[in-house]
Chain A
Amino acid sequence: SQTIHQWPATLVQPVGSPLSLECTVEGTSNPNLYWYRQAAGRGLQLLFYSVGIGQISSEVPQNLSASRPQDRQFILSSKKLLLSDSGFYLCAWTFNTEAFFGQGTRLTVV
């Protein structure tokens, strides 16, 4: 069965510190992978999506970057976090018409 793992569930980081959120997928191959963010009081915003290893598309200019070192691994990173990076981050993957989400990471930048 297809599953998606995202960790950590919660994270509190100081301004200026680095970030690494990891997402792995099981039970499928060559999925489309996504990072979304839900800021407080706002909808889901697509940050990055990837259709294959090393292929990353960025949707909005920001302080974050993404990498896909393996087919089923998607990493969201930042070298220096800003206060505005706080939010709820979701990893997702799609295959044909199905889309699956991780449980999310609540990031608080202090």
Chain B
Amino acid sequence: DQQVKQNSPSLSVQEGRISILNCDYTNSMFDYFLWYKKYPAEGPTFLISISSIKDKNEDGRFTVFLNKSAKHLSLHIVPSQPGDSAVYFCAASRQGGSEKLVFGKGTKLTVNP
């Protein structure tokens, strides 16, 4: 049972354009959502998070949007840079992050110069 779904395994974007990575979840008890970025042969690094009491959180070029009624969140990267090329994982948890993280399968983003 895939509780966190990233339906696009890959995404290719031109440098300078917007990258939009999508994530859907099925468990309505999730109240904290995170995005991680992962380069090959390295551990994921935390990118940005959002609590269910918000619908938007912004940090520099990265913005996460949460639509609770649709159980959907998205990560926007504007403008995209070649160094953003990586696999992006969406993760969710209950109780403000104190419970285990459930990850999606990831989306590989390629930003072309």
Contacts and interface: CB of A to CB of B under 8 A. Distances in A.
Q: Do A and B come from one complex?
A: yes
B106 A44 contact: yes
Query: What class of interface size applies to chain B in its complex with A?
Result: 20 to 34
Nearest to A43: B105
Given A43-B89, A43-B105, A44-B106, A98 B100 contact: no
Contacts of B82: none
B-side binding surface: helix, strand, loop or mixed?
Answer: mixed
A94 B102 CA distance: 12
A99 interface: yes
A46 B101 contact: yes
A-side binding surface: helix, strand, loop or mixed?
Answer: strand
Interface string B11-52: 000000000000000000000101010000111111001010
A101 B32 contact: no
Contacts of B91: 99
Interface in A26-46: 32, 34, 36, 42-46
Contact of A101 (B6, B44, B105): B44
B100 A49 contact: yes
A101 B91 CA distance: 13
Interface string A84-103: 00001010101011111111
B107 to A, nearest CB: 9
Given A32-B98, A97-B32, A99-B34, A43 B103 contact: yes
A87 to B, nearest CB: 12
Interface residues of A, number: 24
A52 to B, nearest CB: 13
16 contacts: A32-B98, A43-B105, A44-B89, A44-B106, A45-B103, A90-B43, A92-B43, A92-B101, A94-B97, A94-B98, A94-B101, A97-B98, A99-B46, A101-B36, A103-B42, A104-B41
Given A96-B97, A98-B46, A104-B41, 14 more contacts: A34-B100, A43-B104, A44-B103, A44-B106, A46-B102, A49-B100, A92-B43, A97-B49, A97-B51, A98-B97, A99-B46, A99-B91, A104-B43, A106-B41
